[in-house]
C-alpha cells in the first residue's frame, strides 16, 4: 500500500498495517521527525509487529524522495537477524519496483565476518573466526601481492585478487544482496564476498551489519571510517546496547595470555634480528617514517591492515611516535618490561581495584614506563608487524591484546577500572588470577557514533524505561516513544503471581529462595501450568546456580515426576551444543503433541535471540526477578560509576536491568499478531516493578491480575486459553489491529480534521488570524493517496512477515 507522511510518499510492501505505527505521533511519523531534525531517538515497539519492515520502508522512502539520499546503516545483533533484515529489504525493493514501474538505482548489502563469507577452499574450513581472519590477512596483505609480482612463490587468494580486475566502484551490480545471494554471486564470479561487501560500502544505499562494526573501536576504525556524517544509523534490538559497548572496550588478562604474549615478544625480537641481517633497509624505512608521525607510517591504513587498534584521539595520530619506542628493538624491550610488570602484579594474592592513573603511577615507579609511549603501543605494534611482514598473525594475538590494553589504560583516565581477582571464587584455593580491565562507561564506545552521525535511532521491542538509555549512553534525543499494541482480542495474558496456593508469598530473594515451602510453591505453579498449557512452555530462572539447586530440590519433592506426566522436561546448560540439542528436542516435542517444558536462564542464550512462536511457546513462566549477581566486583564498580557520573542510583539500575531481562523473556513467546500466550511473572517483587515493564505489556496487564495466587492464576489462565481456542478469522482483526488502505485513509483524515480544528481554534484565539493556506496544506496531505485495491493478500502472509520481523 501507499500513503503519505507529511509530504513524504511511503510505499509499504504489505496491504495492511498495524495501527500502532500509524497513529499521530507514532512510529513512522516520529522516525521522520527525527530524520528531519537530524537528531537521535529511542523507540520502543512491540516485538513481532513488523518493526523492521516499517523502519526500512520509511527510511528507503526518505532516501529516495529527498535529494540528500542519506545512507542507511542498519545494525543488528546476530547473523540471522541481519539476513532477515536483508530479505525484508529485498521484498520491499521488489515491491517498490512493481509499484513505480521501474527499478530504482539502489544497492543494499550486508556484511558479516570473514568466517561467514569466505570462499577460499581451505581458509573457510577453519573453525575459529580469529584464525580465518588471520589466515585471510596473510593471503591478502599488501606485501604478499608485491612479492607475487616480483615473481616470488607466495600463496595468495584468487578470490581477493580477482577484485582488483573489476571497476572499483562497481564490484557488484545494483540491487539488494542477501548474504546468501552474495555468497552465490561470489562463487559464480570468483570474487571474494567479504571484500566485495567491504569495498562497496561507500557505494551502498543501505548497509546492514552487526553492532560491532560501529561500536567496537578496533573494527570500526577500519570498516566504518568512510561513512559520511549524514548517514542514518539504526540500532535494532538495542536493549542490550550498553553491555555491547562495555564489552567492546574491556579486556581480561590472564597469566596464560601473558605467557603467550612473552612468547610473541620473543619471536618478534627474533624476527627483527633476522630482518636486520637480511633486509636492514625495511627497518630503516619504517624508522624514518615513524620519525615523521604515525599517520605517515601508515600510508592511510590499508583495509587489510594486520591488526586492529582501539580508538585514538586524532591529535595522537598526527603526533610523532615518542623517541624511545621508535626503534624496533627498543619497542620490543619496552613491551617486555610492560609484560613482566603485569606478571609481577598478577602474583599478588588479594583483590585489588585501582583506577588507570594510580596504575600508571605505580607502573612508572617500577618500570620507568611513561604514559605517552604507552598510548602509542597498539599503533606501534601494528606498524612493526607490518614492517616485519609477519604471516602467522594468530601467534601475536595475545601480544596485541596487551598492547591494546596499554593504549586504553594510558588514554582514558575516567570510566575504566582495573580489578585484579586472584581467585576465581571466594572459596577457591588454587589461584587463577585475572586482571580485568573493565570499561564502566557505555558512553565511551558509542560516543564516536553519536559524534559522527547526525541521526542515530535506537529501537527494540523492550527498551523500557526509555529515559535510561539516553542517560547511560549520554546522548540527547529528539523523540523518545513507546508504542502500544491494539489488538482485536487479547492475545496474551500477563499475570503476576505473588502467592502460592497456600497464600504464602513467593519470591527468589536471598532470604527465602531455598526455603522448602517457597520451592514447593514454585513447583506447584510449574505443575499447574504444565497441566493446562498446550504444547510448549518456557521457564526462566534468575541464574544457573539457582536453577540447579531448585531442580534438585524439585526432584526430591517428586515435582519433576509430576510435571513429567504432562510434558517433557529439557534444561539449558552453559554449553552451547548441549543447549542446541535440547532446543531441537524441545521443538520436536512441541510439534508432535507430547509437549515440553524448557527450563532456562534469564540471562542465558535462550533468553536472547531464540523465538518461541506459536506452539513453541504458549506459556512463559518467569520464576523470580532476574537480578544480576550483585557480588560481582565489576558490577559493583559499574554501579558506583553510574551513580557518580550519571546520577543513576544502584537500585534503580539493578531493577531496570532485571526488568529488561524479564521483558526480554516475556517477549520470547509473542512473535506475531495471531500468536497467543500466557506471560506469568512469579515473584512477590514484580508487583512493585510493574511500571518498569514495556508499555505494551503493562497495558495488557489488568489490575486484577497483579496479585494472584497460584490457583487464581490457573483459573484465569484457563479462561484465557478457552477464548483462544475459539476460531479467529483474519477478518476480525481488520480495522482494529490491522488497517488496510481505507482504514488508514479514514484515520489520516480524522487526524487531519483534528489538526485543522486545532489550528482554527488557535487562530481564533489569536488576534491576527493566520492565512487559511496554512491549514489547507495539511488537508492536502491526507488526500494524496491513490485508490489501490487491496487485499488479495492473505492474512497468513502478513503473519509470515511478522514472524520474520
Partner 1 sequence: MLRKAPAGGRAVASNGTTAATSSLPVISSEDMCPVCKTIRYLNKDMEFLINPECYHSMCVNCVNRLFNDGPNQCPYAGCRKTLRRKGFRSAFFGDLSVEREVDIRRRVAAVFNQVEDDFETLKDYNDYLQMVEDLTFDLVSGTDAQRRAAEATLQQWELEHKADIERNRKAGKEADEQSRRRLAAEREAARQRRMEALREAEEEKLERARSREAELDSLAQGDVGAGAQRVQLKRRGQAAANRAVEAAVNAAVAAADVGRLSIRGLKEKKKAPAPEGPYDPFGGMDFVPSRYKLRAGLTHPGIEKYKHDPAHITGGYSFDEYMTRAMFEAFAGLGVFIEDEKEVGIGLSAGEVATISAGIAAVGDKMELD
Partner in contact with 324, chosen from ligand SF4, partner 1, none, beta carbon below 5 to 8 Å by kind: partner 1
From the list ligand SF4, partner 1, none, pick the one residue 273 interacts with, judged by a Cβ distance below 5 to 8 Å according to partner type: partner 1
Query: Could you say which residues in the range 529-558 bind partner 1, by CB under 8 A?
Result: none
Instruction: Say whether residue 273 binds partner 1 (CB under 8 A).
Output: yes
What count of residues does the chain have? 805
Distance CA(728)–CA(488), nearest Å, equals: 10
* CB 510 to partner 1: min, Å: 18
The b/e string for 216-243 (b: 16+ C-beta within 10 A; e otherwise) is bbbbbbbbbeebeeebbbbbbbbbbbbe
Buried-state track 520-534, b at ≥16 Cβ within 10 A, e below 16: bbbbbbbbbbbebbe
Q: What Å distances lie between residue 531 and 219, 494, 502, 538, 708, CA to CA?
A: 50, 18, 19, 13, 18
* DSSP calls for 625-667: -----TT-HHHHHHHHHHHHHH---HHHHHHHHHHHHHHHHHH
How would you write 146-207 as a 3-class SS string?
Answer: HHHHCCCCCCCCHHHHHHCCCCCCCCCCCEEECHHHHHHHHHHHCCCHHHHHHHHHHHCCEE
- Residue 159 contact partner, candidates partner 1, ligand SF4, none, CB within 5 to 8 A by sort of partner: ligand SF4
* Per-residue contact flags (x/-) with partner 1 for residues 291 to 310, judged by CB under 8 A: x-------------------
Give the Cα separation of 320 and 380 in Å (integer).
11
Considering the complex, state which of residue 153 and residue 315 has its C-beta at the smaller distance from partner 1: 315
Among 39, 175, 322, 431, binds partner 1 (CB under 8 A): 322
Q: Which three cell numbers stand for residue 27?
A: 512510529
Q: Which is nearer to partner 1, 291 or 736 (CB)?
A: 291
One of 119, 311, 606, 680 touching ligand SF4 (CB under 6 A): 119
Site string for partner 1, 734-763 (x = CB under 8 A): ------------------------------
Applying CB under 8 A, does 320 fall inside the site for partner 1?
yes
Q: In terms of CB distance, is 138 or 462 closer to ligand SF4?
A: 138
Helical (H) or strand (E) element with 708? strand 708-709
Among 42, 139, 443, 518, binds ligand SF4 (CB under 6 A): 139
User: Which residues touch 217 (CB under 8 Å, ≥6 apart)?
Assistant: 248, 249, 309, 310, 311, 445, 448
Site residues (CB under 8 A) for partner 1, limited to 365-404: 366-368
Binding status of residue 622 toward ligand SF4 by CB under 6 A: no
What's the min distance (Å) between Cβ of 301 and partner 1?
22
User: Closest Cα partner for 378 from 333, 344, 356, 411?
Assistant: 411
CA distances from 597 to 566, 571, 587, 714, 755 (A): 9, 8, 10, 17, 52
Among 644, 732, 753, 754, binds partner 1 (CB under 8 A): 644
Quick one: what does residue 333 bind among ligand SF4, partner 1, none, with the CB cut-off 5 to 8 Å set by partner type? partner 1
Return the residue of 70, 114, 567, 660 that touches ligand SF4, per CB under 6 A.
114
Cα four-point dihedral sign 62, 785, 18, 483: positive
- Which residue's entry shows cell 608487524? 385
| Among residues 651, 764, 773, 792, the one that binds partner 1 under rule CB under 8 A | 651
> CA 169, 171, 175, 181: dihedral to nearest 10 degrees?
-150
Residues β-bridged to residue 568: 596
Smallest gap from Cβ 365 to partner 1, in A, equals: 8
Nearest distance in Å: CB 437, partner 1:
18
Footprint on residues 655-674 left by ligand SF4 (CB under 6 A):
none
Site for partner 1 in 469-528 (CB under 8 A): none
Among residue numbers 170 through 229, which ones bind ligand SF4 (CB under 6 A)? 192, 194-195
Query: Does 641 contact ligand SF4 by CB under 6 A?
Result: no
Distance CA 534, CA 596 (A): 9
Other residues' Cβ atoms within 10 Å of the Cβ of residue 199: 18
* Given 122, 170, 202, 284, the residue binding partner 1 (CB under 8 A): 284
Q: Which stretch binds ligand SF4 (CB under 6 A): 112-120, 247-255, 614-622, 655-663?
A: 112-120
State yes or no: residue 157 binds ligand SF4 (CB under 6 A).
yes
Between 355 and 501, name the residue whose CB sits nearer to partner 1.
355
Strand-pairing partners, residue 497, are: 682, 708
Q: Which is nearer to ligand SF4, 160 or 618 (CB)?
A: 160
SS3 letters across 496-531: EEEECCCCCECCCCCCCCCCHHHHHHHHHHHHHHHH
Report which of 177, 43, 14, 42 is spatially closest to residue 799, judged by C-alpha positions.
14
723 binds, among partner 1, ligand SF4, none (CB under 5 to 8 A by kind): none
287 in contact with partner 1 (CB under 8 A)? yes
Phi first, then psi: give them for residue 543, nearest 5 degrees. -155, 160
CA distance 402 to 380: 13
Q: What does the per-residue mask of binding to ligand SF4 show for 340-379, with x meaning CB under 6 A?
A: ----------------------------------------
- Rule CB under 8 A: choose which of 128, 202, 228, 280 binds partner 1: 280
Which of these segments, 156-164, 668-676, 687-695, 696-704, binds ligand SF4 (CB under 6 A)?
A: 156-164
- Under the criterion CB under 8 A, does residue 323 sit at the interface with partner 1? yes
Instruction: Pick one of 147, 436, 471, 643: the residue that binds partner 1 (CB under 8 A).
Output: 643
Q: Which is nearer to partner 1, 170 or 344 (CB)?
A: 344
Residue 291 interface partner, choices ligand SF4, partner 1, none, CB cut-off 5-8 Å depending on type: partner 1
Q: DSSP for 285-331?
A: HHHHHHHH-HHHHHTS--TT-SS------HHHHHSPPPGGGSSHHHH
State the binding partner of 355 from ligand SF4, partner 1, none, CB within 5 to 8 A by kind. Answer: partner 1
- Classify burial at 300, counting beta carbons within 10 Å of its beta carbon; exposed 0-12, middle 13-18, buried 19 or more: exposed
The binder of ligand SF4 chosen from 120, 218, 271, 695 (CB under 6 A): 120
C-alpha cell at 152: 616470488
Binding pattern to partner 1, positions 333-352, x when CB under 8 A? x--xx--xx-xx--x-----
Residues in contact with ligand SF4, counted by CB under 6 A, come to a total of 14
> Can you give the C-alpha Rg of the chain in angstroms?
29
313 contributes a contact to partner 1 by CB under 8 A: no
Nearest 5°: phi and psi at 746?
Answer: -55, -45
Angle at 671 between CA 666 and CA 675, to 5 degrees: 100
Sign of the dihedral through C-alpha 787, 788, 794, 795: negative
Angle (deg, nearest 10), helices 255-278 and 397-411: 100
- Nearest distance from C-beta of residue 331 to partner 1, angstroms: 10
718 binds partner 1 (CB under 8 A): no
Instruction: Give the shortest CB-213-to-ligand SF4 separation in angstroms.
Output: 16
Please report, as ranges, the residues that interact with ligand SF4 according to CB under 6 A: 114, 118-120, 123, 136, 139-140, 157, 159-160, 192, 194-195
Please report, as ranges, the residues that interact with partner 1 according to CB under 8 A: 273, 276, 280, 284, 287, 291, 319-324, 326-327, 329-330, 333, 336-337, 340-341, 343-344, 347, 355, 357-358, 361, 366-368, 640, 643-644, 647, 649-651
Amino acid at each position: 500500500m501507499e500513503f503519505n507522511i507529511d509530504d513524504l510518499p511511503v510505499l509499504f510492501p504489505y496491504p495492511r498495517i498495524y495501527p500502532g505505527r500509524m497513529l499521530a505521533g507514532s512510529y513512522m511519523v516520529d522516525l521522520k521527525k527525527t530524520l528531519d531534525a537530524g537528531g537521535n531517538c529511542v523507540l520502543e515497539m512491540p516485538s513481532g509487529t513488523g518493526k523492521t519492515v516499517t523502519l526500512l520502508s520509511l527510511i528507503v522512502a526518505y532516501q529516495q524522495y529527498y535529494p540528500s539520499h542519506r545512507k542507511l546503516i542498519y545494525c543488528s545483533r546476530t547473523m540471522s537477524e541481519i539476513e532477515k533484515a536483508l530479505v525484508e529489504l529485498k521484498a520491499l525493493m521488489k515491491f517498490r519496483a512493481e509499484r513505480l514501474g521501474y527499478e530504482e538505482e539502489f544497492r543494499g548489502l550486508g556484511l558479516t565476518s570473514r568466517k561467514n563469507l569466505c570462499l577460499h577452499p581451505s581458509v573457510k574450513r577453519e573453525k575459529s573466526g580469529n584464525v580465518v581472519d588471520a589466515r585471510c590477512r596473510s593471503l591478502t596483505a599488501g606485501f604478499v601481492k608485491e612479492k607475487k609480482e616480483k615473481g616470488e612463490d607466495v600463496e595468495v587468494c584468487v578470490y581477493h585478487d580477482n577484485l582488483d580486475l573489476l571497476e572499483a566502484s562497481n564490484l557488484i551490480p545494483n540491487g539488494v544482496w542477501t548474504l546468501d545471494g552474495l555468497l552465490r554471486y561470489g562463487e559464480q564470479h570468483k570474487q571474494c564476498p567479504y571484500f566485495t561487501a567491504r569495498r562497496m560500502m561507500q557505494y551502498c544505499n543501505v548497509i546492514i551489519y552487526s553492532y560491532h562494526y560501529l561500536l567496537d573501536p578496533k573494527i570500526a576504525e577500519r570498516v566504518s571510517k568512510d561513512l559520511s556524517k549524514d548517514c542514518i544509523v539504526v540500532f535494532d534490538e538495542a536493549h542490550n546496547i550498553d553491555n555491547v559497548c562495555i564489552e567492546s572496550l574491556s579486556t581480561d588478562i590472564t597469566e596464560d595470555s601473558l605467557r603467550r604474549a612473552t612468547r610473541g615478544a620473543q619471536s618478534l625480537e627474533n624476527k627483527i634480528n633476522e630482518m636486520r641481517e637480511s633486509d636492514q633497509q625495511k627497518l630503516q624505512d619504517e624508522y624514518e617514517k615513524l620519525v615523521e608521525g604515525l599517520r605517515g607510517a601508515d600510508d592511510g591504513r590499508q583495509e587489510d591492515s594486520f591488526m586492529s587498534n582501539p580508538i585514538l584521539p586524532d591529535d595522537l595520530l598526527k603526533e610523532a611516535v615518542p623517541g624511545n619506542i621508535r626503534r624496533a628493538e627498543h619497542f620490543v624491550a619496552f613491551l617486555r618490561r610492560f609484560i613482566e610488570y603485569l606478571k609481577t602484579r598478577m602474583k599478588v594474592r588479594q583483590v585489588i581495584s585501582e583506577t588507570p592513573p594510580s596504575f600508571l603511577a605505580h607502573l612508572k615507579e617500577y618500570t620507568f614506563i611513561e604514559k605517552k609511549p604507552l598510548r602509542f603501543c597498539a599503533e606501534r605494534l601494528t606498524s612493526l608487524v607490518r614492517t616485519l611482514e609477519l604471516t602467522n598473525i594468530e601467534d601475536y594475538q595475545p601480544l596485541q591484546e596487551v598492547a591494546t590494553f596499554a593504549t586504553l589504560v594510558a588514554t582514558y583516565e575516567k570510566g575504566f577500572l582495573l580489578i585484579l581477582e586472584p581467585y576465581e571464587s571466594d572459596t577457591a584455593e588454587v589461584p587463577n588470577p585475572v586482571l580485568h580491565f573493565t570499561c564502566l562507561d557505555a558512553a565511551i564506545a558509542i560516543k564516536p557514533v553519536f559524534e559522527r552521525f547526525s541521526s542515530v535511532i535506537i529501537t527494540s521491542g523492550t527498551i523500557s524505561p526509555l529515559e535510561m538509555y539516553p542517560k547511560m549512553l549520554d546522548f540527547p534525543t529528539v523523540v523518545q516513544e513507546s508504542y502500544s499494541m491494539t489488538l482485536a482480542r487479547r492475545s496474551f495474558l500477563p499475570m503476576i503471581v505473588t502467592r502460592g496456593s497456600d497464600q504464602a508469598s513467593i519470591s527468589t530473594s536471598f532470604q527465602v529462595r531455598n526455603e522448602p515451602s517457597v520451592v514447593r510453591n514454585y513447583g506447584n505453579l510449574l505443575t499447574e501450568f504444565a497441566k493446562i498449557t498446550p504444547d510448549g512452555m518456557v521457564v526462566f530462572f534468575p541464574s544457573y546456580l539457582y536453577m540447579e539447586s531448585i531442580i534438585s530440590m524439585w526432584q526430591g519433592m517428586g515435582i519433576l515426576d509430576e510435571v513429567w506426566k504432562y510434558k517433557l522436561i529439557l534444561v539449558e546448560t552453559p554449553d552451547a551444543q548441549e543447549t542446541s540439542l535440547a532446543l531441537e528436542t524441545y521443538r520436536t516435542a512441541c510439534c508432535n503433541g507430547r509437549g515440553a517444558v524448557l527450563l532456562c536462564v534469564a540471562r542465558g542464550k535462550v533468553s536472547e535471540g531464540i523465538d518461541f512462536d506459536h506452539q513453541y511457546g504458549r506459556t512463559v513462566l518467569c520464576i523470580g526477578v532476574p537480578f544480576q549477581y550483585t557480588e560481582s566486583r565489576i558490577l559493583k564498580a559499574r554501579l558506583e560509576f553510574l551513580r557518580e557520573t550519571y546520577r543513576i542510583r544502584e537500585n534503580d539500575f539493578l531493577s531496570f536491568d532485571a526488568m529488561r531481562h524479564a521483558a526480554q523473556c516475556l517477549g520470547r513467546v509473542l512473535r506475531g499478531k495471531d500468536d497467543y500466550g500466557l506471560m506469568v511473572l512469579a515473584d512477590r517483587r514484580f508487583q512493585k516493578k510493574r511500571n518498569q515493564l514495556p508499555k505494551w505489556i503493562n497495558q495488557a496487564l489488568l489490575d486484577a491480575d497483579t496479585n494472584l495466587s497460584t490457583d487464581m492464576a490457573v483459573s484465569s489462565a484457563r479462561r484465557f486459553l478457552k477464548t483462544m481456542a475459539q476460531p479467529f478469522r483474519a477478518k476480525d482483526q481488520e480495522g482494529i489491529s490491522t488497517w488496510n488502505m481505507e482504514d488508514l485513509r479514514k484515520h489520516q483524515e480524522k487526524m487531519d480534521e483534528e489538526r485543522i480544528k486545532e489550528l482554527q481554534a488557535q487562530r481564533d484565539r489569536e488576534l491576527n488570524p493566520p492565512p487559511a493556506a496554512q491549514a489547507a496544506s495539511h488537508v492536502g496531505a491526507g488526500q494524496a493517496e491513490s485508490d489501490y485495491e487491496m487485499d488479495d493478500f492473505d492474512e497468513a502472509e502478513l503473519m509470515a512477515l511478522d514472524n520474520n520481523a
